[in-house]
A and B are shown apart, each in its own frame.
Chain A
Amino acid sequence: MIIASNLTKRFGKLKALDDVSVNFMKGECIALMGPNGSGKTTLIKSILGMVVPDSGFITFNDKNILRDWQYRRHIGYMPQIGRYPENMTIGQVIAMIKDIRSPYNTAFDEELIESFGLNAMLKKRMRTLSGGTRQKVSASLAFLFNTDVLILDEPTAGLDPVASEILKEKIKAQIKKGRLVIITSHILSDLDELVTQVIYMQEGKLLFHKNINILRNETGQQKLARAIVSVMHNQRS
């Protein structure tokens, strides 16, 4: 569904992406992992067209995204740090995004808005919100349009355990519907039950892209965290 070929991106001297090629298929739940600054967010932003790679290309449903913008209607995106116009209220932000996307997406999935209890604070201005509440708004917006692809950048960071559980259940339901879900996280325990594929990045390079069951068999570890640690360990030695 999404194919990235030989992506390279430099920010000054730093190579954020170094010849990354990767393939995302429908129905997968992909965990994009790696230490801080390994290029996960840059990869995601390239897929969304927010960062333009120096070389290489990305196709979405076999169409190059470089001059395209329509493909984004199939994507729900939850940013790592949700930045919103500060003097708009939650209700206004949600209404605006709905309005912008209304020609393409008409059936709204407002389940998260309700279960996060955002309905009660639609009149609150964005600047007054805590980090966790912002995350809830971001998550609600990402899931609002029943999109085929969900890209979640550190979805559970900053959420309280209850909200985090709600979100995980929601992600699970989406995977069951056959949607492509890409999650970045370095909190490994969050992902155990959801993930089908694991991508590990380091210093802008893609170290491996494996099915989780294969990874478990290879390493002999059931827990994702232990499996990753064991892979890292083998690579060093």
Chain B
Amino acid sequence: MKKIIKYVTADILRNKIVLAYTVLLLIISFSVFALQDDASKGMLSLLNITLLIVPLMSVIFSAIYIYNSAEFIELLVSQPLKRKSIWLSLFYGLAAALSIAYFIGAGIPIIIYQPSATGFIMLGAGIILSIIFVAIALLAAVLTRDKAKGIGITILLWLYFALIFDGLILFILFQFEDYPLDKFMVFTSAFNPVDLCRILILLRMDVSALMGYTGAIFKDFFGSQTGSFVAVTVLLLWVIIPVWLSMKKFKKKDL
């Protein structure tokens, strides 16, 4: 397994996109912190980048990488190797490359300008989102043989998590505004890792005062120890379930 991870990582590094992504994140992060004197305003800008660009980059790069490695996978499958370790190595390689990219690109500026609990939560959120979207890409790529279709699906999934989900929530909120939906909102946030991360970070910032009564409920739940434990578990499940499903599928896939 170690050997395959080594070859996968070497292969990812050889194609310089991840390197470019790291540099891009570095430039953005340093510039948002340098533009304002108030580091917490910089954090707010960085939050939006973490929640939009990081998932997009992870999901598309991983999906394209899996499709382009079809030959590599085919070659490995005919060798004395477990399919499970081939698939997990691809996952580990991609997850490691993209999390390290986020750690260097956004983590270092955060540690320099905002070495607070909020900063570290943001760093953790960015890394876990990178990994979650690698897992989602793996699942999409194993389910569809056609490359264009698979990449299309990953883009739609990203749109769903980044935009459509919020739209749906707003729609439900306005339709049922006469009912108490606050507990329901806490529950639905589990179905979107991007939203979950957004809530976890926003609650730590001053702007959470603007979130009104629902914000208070969120703070009540996610501020508690059980709440943060539940949130982390849910995020981990967002990694484990797609990886597990994709592996099950990959084990039976004809190559």
Write the residues of chain A forming the contact surface with B, with a CB cutoff of 8 angstroms.
11, 45, 48-52, 69-73, 77, 79, 83-87, 96-97, 99-101, 104
Contacts and interface: CB of A to CB of B under 8 A. Distances in A.
B77 interface: yes
B75 A50 contact: no
Contacts of A11: 254
22 contacts: A45-B254, A45-B255, A49-B77, A50-B77, A50-B78, A50-B255, A52-B254, A69-B81, A69-B82, A70-B80, A72-B79, A77-B78, A79-B74, A83-B71, A85-B69, A85-B72, A87-B11, A87-B14, A87-B15, A96-B7, A100-B3, A100-B80
Contact of B81 (A45, A85, A87, A100): A100
Contact of B83 (A69, A86, A96): A69
Contacts of B81: 69, 72, 100
Contact of B75 (A73, A83, A99): A83
Nearest to A86: B71
Given A69-B81, A73-B80, A85-B75, A52 B252 contact: yes
A86 B81 CA distance: 21
Contacts of B4: 100
Given A50-B254, A87-B14, A101 B77 contact: no
Interface residues on B, range: 20 to 34
Interface of B: 3-4, 7, 11, 14-15, 69-72, 74-83, 252-255
A144 to B, nearest CB: 11
Contacts of B11: 85, 87
A84 B71 contact: yes
Contacts of A86: 71
Nearest to A42: B254
Contacts of B7: 96
B254 A51 contact: yes
A85 B71 contact: yes
